[in-house]
Structure formats: structure tokens, C-alpha cells
Structure 1
């Protein structure tokens, strides 16, 4: 149950359209729906401000379909499904309106394109090889009601590329810096902007990169203030956190 639904329910009680007992019954039925293989958390939007997100890896296409159907029954839109393979995406797309991106493996079911935050999030990548993680972050943020500006392949190997986009960086409310190799991009960006920077280490790089561990440690040791770090390849986590920050202080509604 979203906050708007809860308010509508309380208004019905106030107007006499529902008795307190009837409203209580509806609220009791809302917290989660047990599908056997999953317990769909319908109260997450009320508690956290964002509805449940479906992690697609390890789930069958039928299970994803069942969870989506349960969420659709409560009029959910912009439902995010992460790490979903092409076979599952093809199955789901036959049953639900979905915008699926094979690069990031992220699907948005019942996409609305609605913008609910006042500023924009800049997603910046060190190289083209980081784009899958970048797109997971960008598409997550878009599904959660944010405008996103993408600055890809502007890493420290050619710093002039990043400096040519300072106007975009400096007007962002949040920057997501995605990089593999040595992960230096986050520190550089953190030293240029006055907004929060969310660093995302990727598993891109040669042997001593240790599948992203080197970039992770570099980002954790950033000398720039205002830099936070999410897990390796966790574009979704970065997009979600950036959306929470961008929604603080009002909306364009």
C-alpha cells in the first residue's frame, strides 16, 4: 500500500464511506502476499517510499511473472526487475508491458516516464566497458522518477573528456561515478562537485583488478569528501540511493 492509498483510505473513513473496522481489515490484508515461493511486500512503498524491486537472477520466468501479477493487482507501475536474462524477459514481455534493456538486464514493467524529483542525476562512466553497470543505475533512477544525464567514457585516461562536461556535472544533485580498473574516477569527480557522489566499482580490468576489488578499495580510500561507495557492479544500489537523495527536499509534482 502506497502512501497515497493509505491517505485515500483514511479520507474514506473520515467521510464515512468506510467504517474504521473495514479500513483496518484492508490494512491487515495489505502487508504482504504469500505466493508460496515469494512473499510480495505490498507495504514497502509506505515504509520506504519505494515499492518492492524484483531481483530476477535465480528466479524462473514463471516466478517473476507471478510476482508481477501480484503487484499489478495493486495497480503498481514502474516495477523494476533486475538481472533478468533474455529468456525470462521474452516470457515476461508476452504477459506484461515491459521496457527491457539487454545490456543492463533490467526491465521496467508498466513504465510511465513520470518525473517526481526536482533535479537530475548524472551517471558518469570511466569507459565504455562500464556501460552495463551504468545503465542499470540510470534505468533504476529513471524508473523511480528521476531525470538522468549520461556521461559515458570520460575516465581519467583522457581527463579532458570529463572536463568538457563540467557544466553537466556541477548542476547535478547527485553524481554516480562508475569505474573499473583502478577506480580513480570517483575521486576526480568528488573533487569537482558540491553534491553527493556515489561510487560504483566494476569488475572491469586486468588480473590485478581482482574482479573489481582494486577499484572498490581505491574508492573506499578516496581523498575526496562526499564520496560514498556501493558494492562491485551494483548499479541498482547506486541508482536507488541516488533517487532517495534526489527526492529529498520536494518534487516537481
Structure 2
């Protein structure tokens, strides 16, 4: 491959000091050499790295010395590399999922939070097709300071939750569905068109972005940097 088409990565190691949120690596589309170069640099600097959209075959092709330092989770396709802080205290962020098919996106959000030392409570399979499931967990959801809501299909969970709880809600539409709902556009439009006020929306399948938004919100009320 031409060097012009395989340039070295330029990591933003100062991002956490500048914004309170650390650098992360979107692994999809990167070459094996680029990923190895990034992780080697991180190790030499003792810097943690979060990798998202990291495929199992990309992990298998990493050099053993790098793969051994990687905490890889295949459902969310995320990798935590290097010294990651432990999650302390009772989780004050809830990640609420309509269905089990949404768990890859849930996992990306939870692992992004964990990378920053912030725990999350996962409340899954509470879609509105069986509304009793959501109502049974409602008091638990209400104890959260911030809620990340994850749903595909028609995305009805977003409006229902926004009409029932006080905490800020970050809606994450997922690409789960078939026919007209395939690809997540219907769920996205449902979130954007919700009549429940105050709903914040990120892009389809963007668990990482939802977690980053939650960290910023949490920092405003806790008096700490977003990534701590």
C-alpha cells in the first residue's frame, strides 16, 4: 500500500485537559498498522485509549504484546487499553434499552462511561410493546441523575420516558428493525419529532456520543471534569 494512503495517526492527547473528555479511536476503516501504532504510542506514554467499532478480526491481528493489554468486549465492539480508572460509588447514570437487540449500542455507551471511571445502571428489555415492563422499573429509572434511552423500531420509548421522569434524557435511536424501520431512520425521526419537551437526541447507533454528552451533563452538576 502506498504510504500516502496509510498515513500515521495524529492523536489528540491533550483533549482531556482541554474539554474534560479523553481521546478515543474509531477503529473501523483503520489499518492494522495504524491501530498498532496508536496503541504502541499510548503504551509508551502510559495513556489509556478507548477504541470503538473494533472488529474481532482486528483484535486478532494485533501483536501479542498489544493484545495482552486490551480489554475487548465483542458485543459492543469496544476495547479499553491501558490504565483505566475504576468506577466508584453508586451509578447515577441509567442506560435504558427497549430491547435486547439494542445491547451493542447500550454496551458502547456503558463502556465509554467506564473508560472515564463512571458506572452506569443498565435497565434492558423495557420496550413499550409491554408497557408494564417499563412501569415495573420506573422508580429505579427515576433515581438516575441522567438517562440514556436506547431504542430502535419506532422509537416510542423516548417520548414515553420523557413524559414520566425529570432527569435529562439522551435518546439514542438504533438501526434495529426491518422494513420501514430498518436502518434506524424512523427511530431517529421519532426522537426528533417527540412532543415530550427537553429530549436530547444523538445520531443512530451512537452510544459513544450519548455517553460523552452524559459525562458533560454530569460534570455540570458534580463540579468535576467530564472525564472523571
Higher mean C-alpha deviation, range 222-231 or range 111-120? 111-120
1:237 has 2:209 as partner:
yes
Q: Does 1:154 align with 2:126?
A: yes
Unaligned ranges ≥5, structure 1: 1-34
Structure 1 residues 245 and 94: CA distance shift in structure 2, 3 A = farther
Aligned pairs for 1:140-179 within 5 A: 140-179=112-151
Does the C-alpha gap of structure 1 residues 125 and 92 become closer, same or farther in structure 2, counting only changes over 3 Å? Answer: same
After TM superposition, the score normalised by the length of structure 1 is 0.80
Specify the SS of the correspondent of 2:205. Answer: coil
Tell me the distance in 2 between the aligned counterparts of 1:48 and 1:40.
15
Q: Which has the larger radius of gyration?
A: 1
Quote the offset at 1:93 in angstroms: 7.3
Indicate yes or no: 2:42 matched with 1:48: no
Which residue in the other structure is 2:30 paired with?
59
Which residue of structure 2 aligns with residue 139 of structure 1? 111
Could you tell me whether the CA contact under 8 Å between 1:111 and 1:143 is conserved in 2? no
Whole-Å separation in 2 of the counterparts to 1:45 and 1:216: 29
Q: Which moved more, 1:66-75 or 1:171-180?
A: 66-75
The aligned runs of 1:1-253 (5 Å cut-off) are 36-77=7-48, 79-92=49-62, 94-96=64-66, 97-115=69-87, 120-248=92-220, 249-251=222-224
* TM-aligned CA deviation for residue 213 of structure 1: 0.6
TM-score by length of 2: 0.88
Q: Counterpart of 2:3? A: none
RMSD: 2.1
| Cα deviation digits, residues 200-248 of structure 1 (max 9, x gap) | 1111112111411111000001122221111111111111111221232
Moved >6 Å (runs of 4+): none
Secondary structure of 1:39's aligned partner: coil
What are the ranges of 5 or more consecutive residues in structure 2 without an aligned counterpart? 1-5
Query: Retained in 2: the 8 A contact 1:106–1:139?
Result: yes
For 1:116 and 1:52, the matched residues in 2 are separated by 21
Distance 1:213 1:111 in 2: 37
Name the CA distance, whole Å, in 1 between partners of 2:45 and 2:139.
41
Distance 2:46 2:83 in 1: 12
Q: CA 1:111–1:162 in 2, change beyond 3 Å: closer, same or farther?
A: farther
